């Protein structure tokens, strides 16, 4: 198994761990944290995809002296990096919004237990 496959597998395990955490943890804060674990794993996956072709950042350096030839360095793929930069920003803002809501929910139940909010069975049909 080469390093790429191994890292890919580890990242997918991290995504799965985050999903299971979201399913099983009873604390809302931990749920949001579990979602963040998934998000970080996806960031790692895109960085890994970008690093397939090389590790050097694809950035132009200062112009070479005339006549000199640049050594061909394997460059990283800039497309997945650009994509994941957008996704990181979106993920960050969603994380911030969720944490704001959680601080307000903490005034209702400081222990942030899921059961105290998810009481659909008690008031079916919805009070307002």
Partner 1 sequence: MAPLTGQTLLIGWLLLPYAAAFLAALLPPLARWLALVCCLATGAVAVAIQAGVLPASLSLLGPYGVELQPDGLAAPFLLLDALVCGAVVLDGWRRTLPGPFLLLLMVLHGGLASAFVAVDLVSLYVTLEVVGIAAFLLILASRSERTLWLSLRYLLIGNTVMTLYLVGAAVVYLTQGSFRLEAVAGAGAAALALLLVGLLTKAGLFLSGLWLPRTHAEAPAEVSALLSGVVVAAGVVPLLRLSSVVPALAAVLPLIGVASAGLGLLFALAEADAKRLLAWSTLSQMGLVVLAPAAGGLYALGHGLAKAALFLVARRFPGRDLAGWAGRPLAAGVWVPLWIGSLSIVGVPPLLGFFAKSGLDRALPGPMGLLLSLLTVGTAAVYARLWGAPLLAEAPASPAAAMTPPEPAWSPGVLLLLLALVLLGATEATRTWSPALLPAAAKAALVLAAGVGLHRLLQPLRRRPWFRLPDLEGFPDLVGGIGVVGAGLLVWIR
Looking from the CA of 118 toward its CB, the CA atoms found within 13 Å total 7
Q: Which of 7, 17, 19, 81 binds partner 1 (CB under 8 A)?
A: 19
Residues whose CB is less than 8 angstroms from the CB of residue 89 and which lie 6 or more positions away in sequence, other chains included: none
76 binds partner 1 (CB under 8 A): no
90 binds partner 1 (CB under 8 A): yes
CB of 95 vs partner 1, minimal distance in Å: 9
Q: Which of 13, 87, 92, 111 binds partner 1 (CB under 8 A)?
A: 87
How many angstroms separate the CA atoms of 30 and 64, rounded? Answer: 52
Q: Which of 27, 56, 57, 93 binds partner 1 (CB under 8 A)?
A: 93
CB of 56 vs partner 1, minimal distance in Å: 19
Under a CB-based contact definition with an 8 Å cutoff, are residues 70 and 51 in contact?
Answer: no
């Amino acid at each position: 198994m080469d390093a790429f496959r191994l890292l890919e597998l580890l990242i997918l395990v991290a995504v799965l761990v985050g999903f299971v955490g979201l399913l099983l943890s009873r604390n809302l804060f931990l749920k949001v944290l579990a979602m963040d674990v998934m998000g970080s794993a996806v960031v790692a996956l895109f960085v890994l995809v970008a690093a397939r072709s090389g590790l050097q950042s694809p950035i132009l350096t200062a112009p070479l002296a005339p006549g000199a030839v640049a050594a061909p360095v394997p460059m990283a793929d800039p497309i997945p990096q650009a994509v994941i930069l957008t996704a990181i920003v979106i993920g960050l803002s969603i994380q911030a919004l969720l944490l704001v809501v959680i601080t307000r929910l903490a005034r209702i139940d400081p222990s942030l237990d899921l059961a105290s909010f998810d009481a659909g069975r008690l008031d079916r049909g919805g009070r307002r």
